[in-house]
């Protein structure tokens, strides 16, 4: 079909007008959305500032009796829930209980189960935060399914809510949630597990399967023991350094290094000769922390290791020992008969220590 030039020109003109109108509508819509967002932000800031003053008068009245908190407008209730959850984390004791009473007075507790399963992720997240902030123990069971939420930050808030409750009934689900994450993420998520408190580690010792059946959980156990400096876990960690799993051994050595108990040195020192380099690397890091200057001969031997990470940890271990360690590194760096790898790593660590003013 052949179109006349005039007809083609008309089509182009009308097409351009329609496109311009569409783009104009998008600009207007974007401006309207931005205006609404700015208005909501101004409203939020205004309300938060007013509520902060009201909250101070409510909690810290100088007249002996707390002043009643002003009524919250129905349209501000959701915003007030966020305000209370935010400030509850900064309070404890009677003030925290008074803040919880304000929350309960809102009459939103009955809607919590529905909001925990809401289609909007922001609503689910807010509900999980409320359970955590106000210690709503009766609703913890409803939070567990959120550990499988497709939105990561909702699952993270759910795990925090369960852990901060300190209720060890929920330790296994939260542990499983951590283990579903990539390995490099797990150490970051230890902070969530720490919310259960030091009682988590004895519970894990009792309830975990054997290291052979569940090695990943025992790796987390060792990392938690290191993070919490849990000295009561030392006997179990000394068992774990003899596990057939390299990951468990390395993690247990990391924990023993954090505990820095000199009595564990005789059991750690043989692992400096282990066939797997990750174990030797962690042993090199632990020896100086546990053995002090007495570990220098073993650390010097490890500076000749064929794996750089082992050499670096051994040299760093000596650098961290102060004068005795830097003297050993200086001797090693200047010894023409020393292993070339050992001389290089000694010079590198001495330069590092000098740059940081450790010499």
More confident residue, 35 or 263: 263
* pLDDT for 287: 94
* pLDDT for 358: 52
* pLDDT for 64: 57
Asked whether residue 351 carries a pLDDT value surpassing 60, the answer given is: yes
* pLDDT for 339: 80
* pLDDT for 108: 83
* pLDDT for 71: 84
| DSSP H/E element including 120 | none
Q: Which of 65-69, 71-75, 234-238, 239-243 has the lowest mean pLDDT?
A: 65-69
More confident residue, 35 or 286: 286
Q: Enter the tokens of residue 332.
A: 């090693």
CA–CA distance, 350 with 359 (Å, rounded to integer): 8
Asked whether residue 271 carries a pLDDT value surpassing 70, the answer given is: yes
Asked whether residue 212 carries a pLDDT value surpassing 90, the answer given is: yes
The whole-number average pLDDT for the span 139-162 is 95
Asked whether residue 115 carries a pLDDT value surpassing 70, the answer given is: yes
3-state secondary structure of 52: helix
* pLDDT for 277: 95
More confident residue, 62 or 287: 287
**Which residues lie closer than 8 Å to 230 by C-beta, 6 or more apart?**
198, 201, 224, 259
Q: Enter the tokens of residue 274.
A: 């282990």
Contact 214/179 with Cβ under 8 angstroms? no
* pLDDT for 2: 66
Q: How confident is the model at residue 343 (pLDDT cuts 50, 70, 90)?
A: confident
The whole-number average pLDDT for the span 163-168 is 93
More confident residue, 16 or 239: 239
8-state DSSP, 72: P
Ramachandran class of 229: left when φ > 0, alpha when ψ lies in -120 to 50, beta otherwise: left
CA–CA distance, 346 with 14 (Å, rounded to integer): 77
Q: How confident is the model at residue 265 (pLDDT cuts 50, 70, 90)?
A: very high
Q: Enter the tokens of residue 301.
A: 């031997």
Residue-wise pLDDT tens digits, 171-200: 999 999 999 988 888 888 999 999 998 899
Contact 279/291 with Cβ under 8 angstroms? no
3-state secondary structure of 24: helix
Contact 220/186 with Cβ under 8 angstroms? yes
* pLDDT for 264: 95
3-state secondary structure of 245: coil
* pLDDT for 18: 87
Cα dist. 200→43, 166, 179, 188 in Å? 43, 9, 16, 17
Q: Enter the tokens of residue 160.
A: 């925090």
* pLDDT for 226: 94
Q: How confident is the model at residue 65 (pLDDT cuts 50, 70, 90)?
A: low
Q: Where are the domains of the chain?
A: 80-194
Asked whether residue 26 carries a pLDDT value surpassing 60, the answer given is: yes
The per-residue pLDDT of the chain, averaged, comes to 88
């Amino acid at each position: 079909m052949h179109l006349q030039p005039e007809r083609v020109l008309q089509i182009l003109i009308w097409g351009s007008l329609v496109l311009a109108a569409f783009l104009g509508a998008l600009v207007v819509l974007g401006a309207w959305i931005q205006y609404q967002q700015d208005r909501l932000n101004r409203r939020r800031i205004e309300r938060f500032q007013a509520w902060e003053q009201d909250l101070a008068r409510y909690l810290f009245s100088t007249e002996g009796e707390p002043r009643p908190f002003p009524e919250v407008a129905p349209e501000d209730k959701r915003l007030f829930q966020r305000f209370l959850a935010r400030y509850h984390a900064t309070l404890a004791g009677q003030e925290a209980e008074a803040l919880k009473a304000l929350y309960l007075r809102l009459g939103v507790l009955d809607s919590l189960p529905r909001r925990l399963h809401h289609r909007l992720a922001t609503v689910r997240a807010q509900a999980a935060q409320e359970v955590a902030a106000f210690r709503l123990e009766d609703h913890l069971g409803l939070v567990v399914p959120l550990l499988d939420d497709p939105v990561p930050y909702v699952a993270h808030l759910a795990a925090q809510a369960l852990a901060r409750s300190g209720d060890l009934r929920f330790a296994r689900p939260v542990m499983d949630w951590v283990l579903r994450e990539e390995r490099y993420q797990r150490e970051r998520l230890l902070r969530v597990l720490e919310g259960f408190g030091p009682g988590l580690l004895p519970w894990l010792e009792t309830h975990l399967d054997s290291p052979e059946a569940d090695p990943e959980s025992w790796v987390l156990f060792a990392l938690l023991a290191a993070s919490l400096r849990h000295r009561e876990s030392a006997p179990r960690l000394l068992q774990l350094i003899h596990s057939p799993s390299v990951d468990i051994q390395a993690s247990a050595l990391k924990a023993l290094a954090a505990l820095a108990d000199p009595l564990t040195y005789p059991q750690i020192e043989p692992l400096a000769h282990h066939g797997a380099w990750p174990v030797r690397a962690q042993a090199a890091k632990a020896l100086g922390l546990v053995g002090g200057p007495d570990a220098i001969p073993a650390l010097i031997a490890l500076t000749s290791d064929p794996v750089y990470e082992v050499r670096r940890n051994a040299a760093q271990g000596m650098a961290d020992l102060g004068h005795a360690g830097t003297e050993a590194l200086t001797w090693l760096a200047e010894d023409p008969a020393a292993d070339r790898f050992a001389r290089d790593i000694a010079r590198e660590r001495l330069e590092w220590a000098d740059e940081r003013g450790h010499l």
